[in-house]
Each structure stands twice: as C-alpha cells, then as structure tokens.
Amino acid sequence: MDWPQQAVLVTGGTGSFGQHFVRLMLGEFRPRRLIVLSRDELKQHEMRVAGLIDPSLRYFIGDVRDESRMRRAMHDVDVVVHAAALKQVETCEYNPIEAINTNVLGARNIVDAALDSGVGKVIAVGTDKAVDPVNLYGATKLAAEKLVVDSNSYSGRDGTRFSCTRYGNVVGSRGSVVPLFQAQRASGVVTVTDPRMTRFVLTLDQGVRFVVDCIERMRGGEVFVPKIPSARITDIAEAVAPGARVEIVGVRSGEKLHEVLVSESEARRTLDRGDHYVVTPVDAPWSDGDWEGDPIAEDFSYRSETNDKMLGVKELRDLVASVP
C-alpha cells in the first residue's frame, strides 16, 4: 500500500489506540493527510502540546453519532480506522441507550458516510468481548462487527471495502487492569475478581501494528484475529505488584472468567494464516470467495484458558516494563 498517497482518518483519535496510531503513522508511514477525529477538544489540545504536530495532521472535532459530520470528515479520505467506542462494561450497562447510539448507530454512520464519500477502505477495531457476549458492551461490538462486515454488500465489487479486527486486552491502556494494580501496589493489597480468570493480552504497539497490517491485507469482509498470548489474572497481579496480598472481590456483572477470540460456531469459516486467523464472512457476493489460508478443525475455538501460549510472571513483568 502506498501510504504517502493516502488520506487517513482515525475515529476515537485521542484515545489510547488513536494516539499510538497517529504516532506510528507520522513516524513510519507518512500519509499525505492524517485526520484525528474525536469529541474531546482538551485531549486534542494535549496531543498538540505533547508534540503531535505535523503539516499532514488535522484535528477534527466530531462525534460518530453525527452522520453529517462524518460525511464532512471523510471528504477526500482513502482509509478510515474506526476506533471510537464506549468500552467500559459497567458504563455501558448503566447507560444502555448511549452505548447503542455510539457503538452500533455510530458504526452505521461510519458505514453510510464512507459509502457516500467514496472511501476506499474502512477497518473497525473490535474486541474479544464481541464473541459470545454476556454484557451490553460485547453485544454492541458484535452488532457493529456484523454491520461493518455485511456492509460490503452495499458497495458491490468495486466500492468501499469494510473489514474488522478483533483482539484482547491491551496492557496498560485506559481501563485495563494493569494501571489498577499499579495504583493499588503502594497499599500492599490488590483486588482480583476471581483467581481462575484468564485474558488474552497484547501491547498497544502490537495492536496498532496489527491493524495497520490488516489494512494492507484486507479484501473486504474479513475479521482478523491475531495469535496472542494469554495470562492468568493472578500472574498479572504478581507481575505488577510482587508480594502484594490478593483480595478476592468476586466476578462483576457482565464479566467472564475466560474470553474467546474465535468461537466454535465460527471455526468452519475460519482460516489459519500463521500469525493470525481470518474469520471469513458467511456470504460474500462482493467477492470471488477465494480466501487465503488453511482451514482449521470444525470443533476448534480460540480461548484464553486453553491457549497454548500462557505467559508466566517473568514474561508478564517484561511485557509491562515494555509499555511506555
């Protein structure tokens, strides 16, 4: 992909993912125009103060709920990375309509604006919470994922291409357990919901680079799933706050013991590509259907507790230390 010829828009551009994406784009890929779209003028100002200033960079105030604003933002844009979302599980449970308006109807506005503006590629940043969801956040992300993938039908064979990524917990991002354990470390006590809990983990840089790689690979309709390690919550606690007493507080509403990145029901249309899986669409009239990759077993599922790569305390400590 010839990045210096591309105009790129990232929604949720002032979030953890968005800021790292901007740094990577400016530092390595140098698109002709890079648009940061978010609702928060303060965070945009803070990005400028932090040195994220470049002739190619545009700061654009807007909300994915506003379809007309999305059309304006996508004028002469080639690639859209859709990372805006309400993602706190408890917040979504308490504010269900707001979660739907942002995560589902916001995704619809991205799709409609991209189709009407002639955008070349749209990729949405997803989550393992969308697989077999047990909370509203996961349900909205599943709906958004289905909406994005199936919207290739609207553009036909030669129009806008839509794909998704799906991965696990980003170490050190806002809302992750690592900052919580770091804050609790001084007290000598860390709170764990259930000692059996496991999660998929990756760094922010790994997640952002995976999305960039998927933009270059995508043909439309894929859900890209990286092969990433898992970790036990108790090992994460020991890595971040060694020697601290662990207080068990019980599983919160809408929380799973383990997460899934590829479900058994998706296995029959999932392909193995070495370092990642691709979940192909149920039906793809916009494509010739010749997807690359090796079929996996029909009873396969990619689960955090049975993952063949489980990080130990030392590996987790190194992983946390690598996060800026």
Residues above pLDDT 70, as percent of the chain: 100
What is the C-alpha separation between 103 and 145, in angstroms, rounded? 10
7 in helix, strand or coil?
Answer: strand
Confidence label for 322 from pLDDT (cuts 50, 70 and 90): confident
Asked if residue 171 lies in contact with residue 178, where contact means CB atoms within 8 angstroms, the answer is yes
pTM of structure: 0.95
**DSSP per residue, 92-148:** HHHSHHHHHIIIIIHHHHHHHHHHHHT-SEEEEEEEGGGSS--SHHHHHHHHHHHHH
CB 105 within 8 A of CB 82: no
Which entry of 87, 121, 129, 256 is annotated as an active-site residue? 129
pLDDT in tens, 134-190: 999 999 999 999 999 999 999 988 899 999 999 999 987 776 788 889 899 989 999
State yes or no: is 227 an active-site residue. no
CA 145/CA 266 separation, integer angstroms: 14
pLDDT tens per residue across span 233-250: 999 999 999 999 999 999
Pick the CATH number of 3-167+203-227+261-300 from 3.40.50.720, 3.90.1150.10, 1.50.10.10, 3.40.109.10: 3.40.50.720
Q: What is the tens place of the pLDDT at every residue in 78-135?
A: 999 999 999 999 999 999 999 999 999 999 999 999 999 999 999 999 999 999 999 9
